[in-house]
Amino acid sequence: MKCVVTGGSGFVGSFIVEELVKRGNEVVIVDLVPPNYELPEEVKFNVGSTLYPETMRSAFAGATEVYDVAGVLGTEELMSDNGKAIDVNIKGTFNCLDLALVEGVKRFFYPTKPNEWLNTYSITKIAGEKFCEMYRRAFGLDVTILRWFNAYGPRQHLYPVRKAVPLFIIQALYGLDIEVFGDGEQTVEMVYVEDMARIVVDATRSSLGMKAGKVLDLGSGQVMTVNHLCKEIIRIVNAHFRPKNNPSPSQIRHLPMRMGEPMRTHIQAELADLRNHMHIPVFTDVEIGLIKTIEYYNNLPKVEVMRALQYFQSLRQTEVLV
């Protein structure tokens, strides 16, 4: 079976690619940059942009499934650069839907997000979600839409978009204060990336969108405050990755809340709908997932870590939390 993953060089996209390969599929990645790891022979890389359908046409031809996970991320910084996010996150998704319909793709997947913050990223994701629903209802395209909660795991980029888990881990490993926007009492719901990729493929192949007729949450039920997450990262770093006689001196340092994100957002997935329509196995425990994730960042070349830390130190600009 031929499957296309737009944005397949990115964090979650790369794990969806791996999950599809495990299941014996031929996979084509459509992205502007190749993955930063060696691709198995079952995976082909197609240089293309969702903004330009002609660059994707050969990839979509003969495909059974499309996983459209390409997108421009960001919170505060996108509010001064709306155009790119609007183009990629709305027009790009529309292009993928249209091309999938023309090429006879059987199943289509689209990720959205669980809150409706008033920032460019949130607004564009809601718009993309609505176009997906329109294509399902108006044209009968088998579209599955899942609200992704807080994905974490190896290979998440350190920068230029500020992501909480990678940055918190690096700060703890290097003994720096962990910087948290607001008072840290906002909540996150942690989903290990391998679990997310597996459920995405299962949901798409079960035609979950057609069965449910609505957008469903993809969370793990493992909800915690950002402060608690930071403390867990420091604890695990000290227990497994730093000498016992030299624990991390990291403390939590609170920064003003960034523009585009309200104070003390509390999110929690409604999992009943997902469980009603498909079998959901036990999710990876957060501690186990964090150990695997911290191990990955602990093994990154120091020059790469320093580049990221210097970038944020010079920028001092708030971006995406998780």
Indicate whether 109 pLDDT > 90. yes
Residue 29 contacts residue 44 (beta carbons within 8 Å):
yes
- What pTM was estimated for this model as a whole? 0.93
Of residues 216 and 280, which shows the higher confidence score? Answer: 216
- Across the range 178-201, mean pLDDT stands at 96
Pick the CATH number of 2-226+254-315 from 3.40.50.300, 3.40.190.10, 3.40.50.620, 3.40.50.720: 3.40.50.720
* Mean pLDDT, range 179-185, rounded to an integer: 94
Question: For 223-237, what is the mean pLDDT?
Answer: 98
213: left (phi over 0), alpha (psi -120 to 50) or beta: left
Residue 262 pLDDT level (bands cut at 50, 70, 90): confident
Say what percent of the chain tops pLDDT 90.
Answer: 75
In the predicted model, what is the mean pLDDT of residues 51-78? 91
Site of tokens 């997000």: 113
Comparing CA positions, the residue from 268, 275, 113, 148 lying closest to residue 206 is 275
Residue 83, pLDDT > 90, answer no
Q: Which residues of 40-64 are buried (b: 16+ CB within 10 A; e: fewer)?
A: eeebebbebbbeebebbeebbeebe
Question: Percent of the chain scored above 70 by pLDDT?
Answer: 97
Provide mean pLDDT across the span 172-197: 96
